[in-house]
Every structure is written in C-alpha cells, then in structure tokens.
A and B are shown apart, each in its own frame.
Chain A
Amino acid sequence: MDKSIDAYLEKVSRGLHLSEADKTDVIGEIRNHIHEAVNRQEPLESVLKKLGEPNKLAKAYNHSYKLANDEFRLSDILNSIAFYSSVAITGMVVVTVLPILTVTFVLTSIFIIGISITNLIGLTNLPFNIGFMPVTGWPQIVMAVVISALFLLIARASWSGLKKYLKYVSNNYHKRRVG
C-alpha cells in the first residue's frame, strides 16, 4: 500500500514548480489526506482516483501559486519591455511605410492604365518600355493591365500586412492588461 502512495506522491512532487520547502509542505498534506481517507475505510484506489491525475493536481497547485505571486515576476516585466520596445521600433517602420506603399502602388497602377489609354487614342505619347522593347498600341494596353494587376496585388499585400500587424499589437496589448 505504502509503495503506491509513495509512487503517487513522487509523481505529484515532480510536477510541482515550487521551492523544496513548499513541496514538502504540499506533499505532507496530501500524504495525510490519503491516510485519513484509508483510515476511514476508503479503498486506496478510490482515494487516489479522487485526488486525480498527479500531473493535474500538480498543475492546479502551480496555477494557484502563480496567482498568489502575480504582483512581481521578473520574467513578465522583461517580457513586457521586449514587447513594447519591439513595437516601438517595428511600429515606426511598419505604420509609416506600409500605408505609403499601399497608396503609391494603387495610384501607380491607375496611372499606368490611364497613360496606356491616352497613348492609344493619341492624346499623349509617353514612352512605355518593357525592358528595352518599346511597346505601343493594344499590346501596350495589355502590358499596362498586367503590370497594374501586379501593383494592386502588392498594394493589397501591404494593406493586409498592416492590418495584421495592428491586430497582433492590439491583441498582445490587451492580453498583457488582462494577464
């Protein structure tokens, strides 16, 4: 009987993230509980079953410990510093560059289509080179559409990149405030 009690307690002890003194305290209390129950004719097997999986029990202890020590945890503070400084640095680039990229690529794609049309109807005569090959007339329209589509894709990518970035930052920020 004592063997299975020891084995159970050993497993709980291994799962506890506490100081040695606290571990001894916790294990002593559970050991007493098991003996109290067995003394009152409860079968050992059901006593251990009611206590639950050793890992789960240890986790419950770890969790309650964390709550009690929430005021000061150095790792959390370091974590916050890392988070806010990385947001400050990346934010400076991302929040300015991505909107500019989006707007520029949208405007450029509109501009390219516009020029190719005015070139076609002879209103303007701006050179339109693909590589070193000048294209004119209808092929020019086709090229303009292809290039515009490409630019719009880039614009969309930077726009959704910006949205994702902002969402990530705000999620993380709220998690920090709640946690």
Chain B
Amino acid sequence: MKKQEWLAQVKRGILEYSILLLVDKKATYGYDLISALNKWEVLSTSEGTMYPLLRRLEKDKLIESSWRETVPGVPPRKYYSLTAEGIKMLKTMNCEWEKLISSINQIKTCEEM
C-alpha cells in the first residue's frame, strides 16, 4: 500500500481534530494554523485543504470567526475560536482519541486474535 494514500485517508479526520486543538489553545487565523501544522511533517496541510475545511467547521458551528486589523498594511485577519459546541465536540474527540489509541495498542500487543 502506498504510504501517501494511506496517510491521506488517516489524516482526513485527524486534521479537523488538530485544528480544534490548536484553536482551543488560542484564537488563531488560517496562515498561523497552516504554519503550526507544518511543524510536523505528517500533519502538514495545503492551503487548498485548510481554508475550505475551516469554512466547513465554521458552517458546522464548531468554530466562529471575527475579523481583526493587526498589522498595518496587511488586510484584516480572520481569527477563529471555538464555539460552545466546538468545546463539547473537542472533549468528545479527546475521549474517542484515547479509546482509538488504546484499542490499536491492544491489537498490537495481542498474541492471538
């Protein structure tokens, strides 16, 4: 199986989780999110994926946005933060994530299935 293909499949859901985690730490904007995820090669994401995804998360009311003037000469940034629903969702995701990791670990350490 090709590594890229598999990674693309796995990343699809993890990306949303990563974005919610990052936005939960502090309100951020798109460019910052992309740079943050680029620190880890497995999580790095193209602009063409990130921005439409942010839009979807906003439409799903998991995140909300506000425009802020920050740097002179630079058009306003769109800052994202979690909604109440987003916070709830993130808690669920944290919980499910733990379950997922521990299940995989159990499979790995299991002698016989």
Among candidates B31, B51, B77, B78, residue contacting A61 with C-beta atoms closer than 8 Å: B51
- A171 and B110 alpha carbons, distance in the complex (Å): 41
23 A-B pairs whose Cβ atoms sit less than 8 Å apart in the complex: A26-B51, A28-B75, A28-B78, A30-B51, A32-B29, A32-B30, A32-B74, A32-B75, A33-B51, A39-B71, A50-B46, A51-B48, A56-B48, A57-B48, A57-B52, A60-B48, A60-B49, A60-B51, A61-B51, A64-B52, A65-B56, A67-B56, A68-B56
> Are B71 and A61 touching (Cβ within 8 A)?
no
- How far apart are A30's CB and chain B's nearest CB, in angstroms? 7
User: Which residues on B sit within 8 Å (CB–CB) of A56?
Assistant: 48
> Are A52 and B47 touching (Cβ within 8 A)?
yes
Binding site for B on A (CB under 8 A): 25-26, 28-33, 35-37, 39, 50-52, 56-57, 60-61, 63-65, 67-69
With CB as the reference atom, state the residue of chain B lying closest to A26. Answer: B55
Further pairs besides A29-B30, A50-B47, A60-B49: 12, Cβ < 8 Å: A29-B78, A31-B75, A32-B76, A35-B74, A36-B29, A50-B46, A60-B48, A63-B52, A64-B53, A64-B59, A67-B56, A68-B56
Binding site for A on B (CB under 8 A): 29-31, 46-49, 51-56, 59-60, 67, 71, 73-78
> Are B52 and A37 touching (Cβ within 8 A)?
no
> Are B30 and A33 touching (Cβ within 8 A)?
yes
With CB as the reference atom, state the residue of chain B lying closest to A47. Answer: B47
User: Which residues on A sit within 8 Å (CB–CB) of B51?
Assistant: 26, 29-30, 33, 57, 60-61
> Are B30 and A39 touching (Cβ within 8 A)?
no
- A64 and B12 alpha carbons, distance in the complex (Å): 13
With CB as the reference atom, state the residue of chain B lying closest to A50. Answer: B47
